[in-house]
Amino acid sequence: MNLIDTVRIALRALLKNKMRAALTILGVVIGIAAVTTIVSIGQGASRLVQGEFQTLGTNMILVLPGNTKRGGVRQGGAPTLTSVDADLIGQQCPEVLASSAVVWTQGQVIYGNENWNPKEMLGVGPDFLTVRNWQLEAGGFFCSSDIESNAKVCVIGHTLIPKLFQTTNPIGQLIRINNVPFRVIGILEKKGANMVGDDQDNVVLMPHTTVRKRINGSPLDNVHAIMVSARSTGKMNVATKQINSLMLERHEISPGDEPDFTVQDTTEIAEALGMITGTLTLMLSAIAGISLLVGGVGIMNIMLVSVTERTREIGIRMAIGARGKDILRQFLIESVVLSCIGGVIGLVLGTGASVGATVLINMYKPGTQWPIVVSIPAAIVAIAFAAAVGVFFGYYPARRASRLDPIDALRYE
Amino acid sequence: MALIELKDVRRVYDLGEVQVHALRTVTLNIESGEYVALVGPSGSGKSTLMNTLGCLDRPTHGSYLLAGDEIVTMTRDQRARIRNTQLGFVFQSFNLLNRTSALENVELPLLYSRGISGRERRMRAKEMLTKVGLGDRLHHHTSQLSGGQQQRVAIARALVNRPSFLMGDEPTGNLDSKTSREVIDLFRVLNEEQKITVILVTHDQNIARNAKRTLVLRDGEVVEDTTDFEKAVAALNEEVADD
């Protein structure tokens, strides 16, 4: 008897008890639908996290100053990094795409009779936009001569436009930042909120030299951080190593001594976040998997009933020449067909539910673009899992059927 | 070589405390093309002998050669194969599959034998149903057929795999006298014209009379083996008188 015949016979046997088959399938449907939905939403979440890291800047590496030690007490933020470090990292490390010194400040921006406190006021280098993978919407960015001349120019984020300028075109306007007049030369492209919900467009960028000398009034050439982007995600490790060795050499740190800087690789953070969402997904899937298990027990139960009910049929089949393994196969295929049908229906429902949930999330939490993930490998795994449930829970009843004695089975009423 | 050779076949059912000797010792030969009736009172071992001959049961002692092959030492699967290819069964209660058409019932044995295409299966099943006079009932479900028609479907199913012999276990037990006669006529025609070996178990003397040879069983032993039916009747009555 070939497989197609067996499947045909199994389908026919199942169709003789449509209601029972439907209810049996329901357990598997719910299990597979739950797993599919949770995996799909979970994958959406981890993709969202990854996407946020992309907006943060591609392949970002952060160089921060090291610790200062005062009487054995460590404190962060020693003034050990300089803008020269930033420039050299950009020039000498082959796997570094771009780097920029970063100096931060705080204060008030005034235009006409409007004022605003931007969340981030950064002094940066000319390559900052490359590092952060950010584009300009209008105007231009400052160049290295602006850095050298401590030029009083700035580029603003989108949030500032309605707060200060309303309908006026901001480009070319003079604004006062902590009472220093700056000319607006560019507007940044809108980036939206980051994953914590902070508005990333609430920002003013100025040359780092200008911020240091004219706003912070610092006599030193030190910067707060250096932002670096590697050429590709795969080269992050190499780039990190290159930065490390360059900095060790420049700062004359002998081996064994504690360096006066730290190099932070954001993929680690991304990976950590990815692991958190991954673990959550796995845990929820396991819970959903329990419902699949219950569905499997339902199949086993119905198959056992079916074997008892059809004892006589089994006897007839054996009398006319069915071997034990023919009977085993018949019942096993029946339970696999049951669970696979359940798997397919569950997959369709689960996919529908996850798309629906995603749409709802995006609708009620504007600003987040939760991606819709329909993963083909996950679908294949789900169906394979359903089939495995069918085999696992169908085996015992099928084996029982195949072990029946033909004479007893024929006599069974 | 005889088609069937039973040598000192015994069957003991071990029920724990007691042992039931269903077949004490049976030795007999049946040639190809014979028409044999097995008769005897209830409990005489008819069914056990029948199950043994039908390779459904295995004797606890002795030897059973079917067309030269030893059945007693065969595995379950091997015996299933013998049932599929060498034997046709017809039961008292028809034993057809419910809610399945006549054609599919007849196709069933072919499903379990190797290397027969779907088309050939259908063709042979159709041919066999036509032979038993049901060519116009191919797609009727078994519940839509009369008792006699159902039994003819069962006979078609038994013969579709061209077995060496056909076994009937009270094949007319559930039929009225008219359809009984039709079914018995069919057996006779199959035996006389197609040279199919027929072994019938029955307690109906009118049915047994049709057979060319009669075996009378009593207490697990063959007490009469004769071609003269009157002798068999005498042997049967003698037993009744004993009781």
> Tokens representing A407?
């004479």
Is the model's pTM score more than 0.80?
A: no
Measure in Å the smallest separation between the Cα of B232 and chain A Cα atoms.
29
Among B residues 62-81, those touching chain A with beta carbons less than 8 Å apart: 76-77, 80-81
Distance of alpha carbon A306 from alpha carbon A388, whole angstroms: 20
SS3 B159: helix
* Cβ–Cβ contact B44 with A under 8 A: no
Length of chain A equals 413
If you write DSSP's letter for every residue of A315-380 in order, what string do you get? HHHHHTT--HHHHHHHHHHHHHHHHHHHHHHHHHHHHHHHHHHHHHHHHHSTT--PPP---HHHHH
Q: What is the mean pLDDT of each run of 10 residues along chain B (243 residues)?
A: 91 89 92 92 88 91 92 93 92 89 93 88 94 91 91 93 90 87 89 91 85 91 88 78 56
By CB neighbour count within 10 A (0-12 exposed, 13-18 middle, 19+ buried), where does A320 fall?
buried
* Tens of pLDDT, residues A36-59: 888 888 888 877 777 766 666 557
Give percent of chain A with pLDDT exceeding 70: 92
Which residues in B lie closer than 8 A to residue A11 (C-beta atoms)? none
Q: Residue A195: what pLDDT?
A: 60
Cβ–Cβ of B161/A323 closer than 8 Å? no
Residue of higher predicted confidence among A368 and B209: B209
Cβ–Cβ of A317/B112 closer than 8 Å? yes
Cβ–Cβ of A407/B111 closer than 8 Å? no
Which residues in B lie closer than 8 A to residue A407 (C-beta atoms)? 51, 56-57
Q: Residue B105: what pLDDT?
A: 94
Superfamily of domain B4-242: P-loop containing nucleotide triphosphate hydrolases (3.40.50.300)
Cβ–Cβ of A320/B97 closer than 8 Å? no
Q: Residue A55: what pLDDT?
A: 63
* Tens of pLDDT, residues A171-228: 998 999 988 999 999 999 888 776 666 788 899 999 999 998 888 887 777 888 999 9
Which residues in B lie closer than 8 A to residue A330 (C-beta atoms)? none
Q: Residue A367: what pLDDT?
A: 64
Measure in Å the smallest separation between the Cα of A406 and chain B Cα atoms.
7
Q: Residue B174: what pLDDT?
A: 85
Phi, psi of B29 (to 5 degrees): -120, 140
Q: Residue B2: what pLDDT?
A: 87
User: Measured at the alpha carbon of residue B238, what is the angle toward residues B233 and B242, in degrees to the nearest 5?
Assistant: 150
Q: Residue ranges per domain, chain A?
A: 3-54+271-411, 96-231
Which residues in A lie closer than 8 A to residue B96 (C-beta atoms)? 316
Distance of CA B194 to the CA centre of its chain: 16
Residue A147 one-letter amino acid: I
Residue of higher predicted confidence among A370 and B149: B149
Distance of alpha carbon A280 from alpha carbon A94, whole angstroms: 38
Measure in Å the smallest separation between the Cα of A387 and chain B Cα atoms.
25
Q: Nearest Cβ partner of A407 from B56, B108, B157? A: B56
Residue A153 has pLDDT above 80, yes or no: yes
Q: Residue A411: what pLDDT?
A: 86
Instruction: Give the CB-side neighbour count of residue A333, counting CA atoms within 13 A.
Output: 19
Average pLDDT, chain A: 85
Measure in Å the smallest separation between the Cα of A24 and chain B Cα atoms.
22
Q: Residue ranges per domain, chain B?
A: 4-242
Q: Residue A221: what pLDDT?
A: 78
* Cβ–Cβ contact A403 with B under 8 A: no
Minimal-distance CA residue of chain A relative to B48: A407
* Tens of pLDDT, residues A313-352: 999 999 999 999 999 999 999 999 999 999 999 999 999 9
Q: Residue A69: what pLDDT?
A: 61
